[in-house]
Chains A and B, each alone.
Chain A
Amino acid sequence: DIQMTQSPSSLSASVGDRVTITCRASQGISDYLAWFQQKPGKAPKSLIYGASTLQSGVPSKFSGTGSGTDFTLTISSLQPEDFATYYCQQYNSYPITFGQGTRLEIK
């Protein structure tokens, strides 16, 4: 199975900041990498697929880069609604696997 490792596990930031979350795959996954946002008690929301393509309706403040084993999610100009937990997911091969999550908190 492909292991997905996110860093950091938690992150404190202020409104208006720009933050970057990293996801590393245990083997190459080309660009078959997705990012999700989840708020407490809610279903995940799909943000990015193909490492860098925004899902429909997702604002351009979210951006993704990477290919192979190393990927990043950047969120610019943080707003209160952006504070949540973020997960990466590889879908290069079954079983599809998720990272352990990065909790983004307000400083």
Chain B
Amino acid sequence: EVQLVESGGGFVQPGGSLRLSCAASGFTFSTYAMSWVRQAPGKGPEWVSAINGGGTSTYYADSVKGRFTISRDNSKNTLYLQMNSLRADDTAVYYCSKTPTLTPDYWGQGTLVTVSS
């Protein structure tokens, strides 16, 4: 059974940093692209970033480019999202997803990031 479990969310002040993690199980992690999608309160989903199976290619939404870094540790079956220079409009639930065809087939339960002073 595929499981994706996010962690690392929390409350942070503007300009601060957080690192999200997503522990994956139930599939051969290294062979699948993975993505982060976020959802601000009361809004629709917004794609944030994606990474290929080997970790050699990464993609970002313009809204986070230069501030967020996606990475993965295939030896630990874990996906990461390093978030720097956080702003109030980064407040959202962040979901990791398994994306075999650039679109998710499985989603985690999400982790809430709140950016506020």
Contacts and interface: CB of A to CB of B under 8 A. Distances in A.
Nearest to A53: B101
Contacts of B37: 44
B107 A49 contact: no
Contacts of A97: 47
A8 to B, nearest CB: 15
Given A43-B107, A43-B109, A44-B95, A49 B44 contact: no
Contacts, number: 56
A13 interface: no
Contact of B103 (A91, A94, A100, A101): A91
A46 B95 CA distance: 13
Given A43-B95, A50-B101, A91-B102, A96 B47 contact: yes
A38 B97 CA distance: 14
Interface residues of B, number: 21
A9 to B, nearest CB: 11
B11 interface: no
Interface residues of A, number: 23
A99 B44 contact: yes
B45 A45 contact: no
B101 A91 contact: yes
Interface in A2-51: 32, 34, 36, 38, 43-46, 49-50
Interface in B3-50: 35, 37, 44-47, 50
Interface of B: 35, 37, 44-47, 50, 59, 61-62, 95, 101-110
